[in-house]
Amino acid sequence: MKRHFLAAAILLILSFSIYAPSLFYPFVYPDTIHIAQNRFITDASYISMYFSSDFYVAGNFGGWVPYYRPLFPLSFLIDYKIWGMDPMGFRLTNILYHGFSVISLYILCMILFNDRRFAFLSSILFALHPIHTEAVDWISGRPDAQAGLFYILSFVFYLSARRSPGRTNILLGISSAAFFLSLLSKEMAVTLPFVLILYEIIHGSRFTVHSSRFKWGYILPFFLVLSIYFLMRYIAVGAFFGNYPPQIITDIPPDSGDVFVRLMTALNITVSYLRLLILPVDLKTIYAVPIPNSLFDAGMLISIVVIVLIFAILIPAYYRSKMVFFWTFFVLLTLSPVLLPLVISLNFAQTLMSERYLYIPSIGFCILAGMLLVKIFDKIHAGIIRMAIAVTVLFLITAYGLMTIQRHSAWKSEEAFLKSAAGASPDSALARYNLGLWHYTNKQMKEAKAEFKQAFMLNKNKGAIAIASEEKFDSLFDETLTPEETLSTLRKAFILKQ
């Protein structure tokens, strides 16, 4: 037991240390909207509103956004009551969510495998993986880390319930409650009941306390919780699902195309997500995803080959290594909430792809990586090769840590955040427009004009906005304008089309 406490302490310290530099960063967009300019997170009298309405409307986003995440503003309210408007307090909460997720993952691995080496390695990989920087460094990315913590805890208590006949009902109740909290943090958690079903089908025979047969009694509470969540969501938001409101400046064509185009786009994004998990380089705060025009596009052909290879591995894995099958399928299943809607419409979110969406799926990847590395190490007895494997693991951990530290710089200021987005995605109309707006409000008119011109040229929603006239557009970049005048004056340069 002492060793487990020591491992947990090391993991928590490591998680805190790797993200500590971000504690000193200010609010960045849209933290200012969610927090600094949002009176609804400063008074506890608004708590009922978090659960009965769409916080994003209450948060002055303007327009209907089909999100229902009441624990998101509630956590901000708690932060505000403790820290006031000090960004350090809000950032510390994000880091703690991530740190406790890492410890929970260690516990999950110990329950599943009872191997400290594997559990510790998988948890370290999860703690340091650069793909998590958006969910942890970015205060507004909190819902993913928040949902991830409760998601893992729900799985932990579920497995404990299956192994503890005298406390089954209590532990199942705790597991269901954790699942409910995960759902109230972010809708990505909807996959958990299906993950549990898959686990029972594949590994249920390992738990022989009650019966080796699959029992719906263990799963039904989670579907009951899911039904309650969707009912609450429908009452609050007015829809079970929904598209993001039409954007004037966007990287997504307003016409989603036919279902075949949407399916090809979803496949491309799936492969891009898998690449980011395996090789987390060229990370971006905004991704301008190209829409494939043909099945024979080079990118599309690569995606098809990768998907075929994955299923070619999955089928024999079911018979040879069910854990490999389960955790590989876990990654794909937990990505489904952001992939399946694309088949219906490409406009279900402001962007087609975001790194924070990988927070929960990365659980499966880190467990797979830790499992395979330990298995390879155990099967090879040659000392030199084993040392080479150990060095490889150390290199991987070090590389993850250094890439995560380097990635912090994207959130060190509003300017750094917006310039990072536009620099990494120069073909993104949204990134260029946001940077132009920052230049404009800071009276850097020459830079603002250049970014706006690029944004309008790249904009996929050509029918929504146009420059009123070149002369009028040029005349508006007047450095004598006060900050209060700049935004209202800027709007006069554009014609909004109906």
Could you report the per-residue pLDDT of 24-53, keeping only the tens digit for each?
999 998 888 888 888 889 999 999 988 987
User: Mind spelling out the 3-state secondary structure of the chain?
Assistant: CHHHHHHHHHHHHHHHHHHHHHHHCCCCCCHHHHHHCCHHHCCHHHHHHHHHCCHHHHCCCCCCCCCCCCHHHHHHHHHHHHHCCCHHHHHHHHHHHHHHHHHHHHHHHHHHHCCHHHHHHHHHHHHHCHHHHHHHHCHHHHHHHHHHHHHHHHHHHHHHHHHCHHHHHHHHHHHHHHHHHHHHHCHHHHHHHHHHHHHHHHHHHHCCCCCCCCCHHHHHHHHHHHHHHHHHHHHHHCCCCCCCCCCCCCCCCCCCCCHHHHHHHHHHHHHHHHHHHHCCCCCCCCCCCCCCCCCCCHHHHHHHHHHHHHHHHHHHHHHHCHHHHHHHHHHHHHHHHHHHHHHHCCCCCCCCCCHHHHCCHHHHHHHHHHHHHHHHHHHCCCHHHHHHHHHHHHHHHHHHHHHHHHHHHHHCCHHHHHHHHHHHCCCCHHHHHHHHHHHHHCCCHHHHHHHHHHHHHHCCCCCCEEECCHHHHHHCCCCCCCHHHHHHHHHCCEEECC
Q: What was the pLDDT predicted at 369?
A: 94
Give the residue among 176, 114, 156 at the shortest CA–CA distance from 374: 114
Instruction: Enumerate residues 6+ apart whose C-beta is below 8 A from 56.
Output: 65, 67
pLDDT average, residue stretch 330-358: 86
For residues 306-318, average pLDDT: 83
More confident site: 473 or 260:
260
Of residues 159 and 388, more confidence is placed in 159
pLDDT reported for residue 6: 92
In the predicted model, what is the mean pLDDT of the chain? 85
| Sign of the torsion formed by the C-alpha atoms of 272, 266, 139 and 245 | positive
Q: 176-209 pLDDT, tens per residue?
A: 999 999 999 999 999 999 999 999 888 754 444 3
C-alpha distances (whole Å) from 461 to each of 215, 247, 249, 298 are: 50, 8, 7, 25
Threshold 0.85, pTM exceeds:
yes
Q: Please report the sign of the dihedral spanned by the C-alpha atoms of residue 338, residue 343, residue 347, residue 353.
A: positive
Q: Pick the residue with more confidence: 71 or 491?
A: 71
Above 70 in pLDDT, residue 495?
Answer: no
Token pair for 368: 């797979």
pLDDT at 294: 76
pLDDT score of 481: 59
* 221-246 burial: b if 16+ Cβ within 10 Å, else e: bbeebbeebbebbeebbeeeebbbee
Give the mean model confidence (pLDDT) for residues 344-356.
79
Which position has the higher pLDDT, 358 or 167? 358
Cβ-in-10-Å burial (0-12, 13-18, 19+) of 323 comes to: middle
**pLDDT digit string, tens, across residues 418-452:** 999 999 999 998 899 889 888 888 888 888 888 88
What does the pLDDT read at residue 136? 97
pLDDT recorded at residue 209:
39
The per-residue pLDDT for range 280-301, each reduced to its tens digit, is 999 999 988 888 877 777 778 8
- For residue 207, the model assigns a pLDDT of 42
Angle separating helix axes 142-163 and 192-203, nearest 10 degrees: 30
* 74-101 confidence digits (pLDDT tens): 999 999 999 999 999 999 999 999 999 9
